[in-house]
Amino acid sequence: MNDAKYWLGFGLIPEIGFKRFRMLLEQFETASAAWHAPEASLRAAGLETDRLNAFLGKRAKLDLDAEFRKVSSAGAQLITQADEAYPSLLRPLPDAPPMLFVRGEITSDDTLSVAIVGTRRASTYGKDAAAYFARELAANGVTIISGMAHGVDAAAHRAAIQAGAARWLCLAAALIRFTRVIIAISPQKSRGMAP
């Protein structure tokens, strides 16, 4: 569980957000140190009074071990930017999510990947084009990342399954304020998952 539960804790406090969380990490070096920092140190690190008060109040009430167990009971693992398992292509992005919830595994094969996402109200041509590109790319070893929505995303996802390729399903809506959810699942386990 190490430092990851503290990353999760900061993600559960909307008043902090990614920008301030990054600032705290720079100041305190670890999420654990930032989480346990005294009020004066947090204020000196730049947290404004209203955000600081919200953080202190919520920090006192949150049971991080229980929150972390929820991740595990959902069959997921939490991968933070501090982990070696964090995708190397995401890490250098200035707005990369600080953590990912993952089911399955992200492998080195996923380095060559393409996201195919689009409108939920896709035309037949749009769905066919998404399926064509997903199928052709997947057949050539490219990991397909879709957003699990109806329309273009679902067409790409189904085509990737048909091609028997590994791919990711990304939920665009964050479970917590500044976390994107990435679910890496083998094709055999997700035949019915496409919307």
How high is the pLDDT of residue 56?
Answer: 97
Instruction: Name the more confident of 193 and 137.
Output: 137
Amino acid (one-letter) located at 190: S
Q: What is the pLDDT of residue 165?
A: 66
Please work out, in degrees rounded to the nearest 5, the angle formed at the alpha carbon of residue 18 by the alpha carbons of 15 and 23: 95
Mean pLDDT of 55-83: 89
- How high is the pLDDT of residue 115? 80
Per-residue confidence (pLDDT) for residue 174, from 0 to 100: 43
Model pLDDT, residue 60: 96
Q: What angle do CA 191, 189, 5 make, to 5 degrees?
A: 125
Task: Please enumerate in sequence order all residues whose Cβ is within 8 A of that of 35, keeping only pairs 6 or more positions apart, or say none.
Answer: 6, 9, 10, 59
Q: Among residues 53, 55, 50, 15, which one has the least CA distance to residue 34? A: 55
pTM across the whole model = 0.72
Task: For the chain, list the domains and their CATH numbers.
Answer: 4-73 (no CATH), 77-189 (3.40.50.450)
Least confident of 27-36, 62-71, 142-151: 142-151
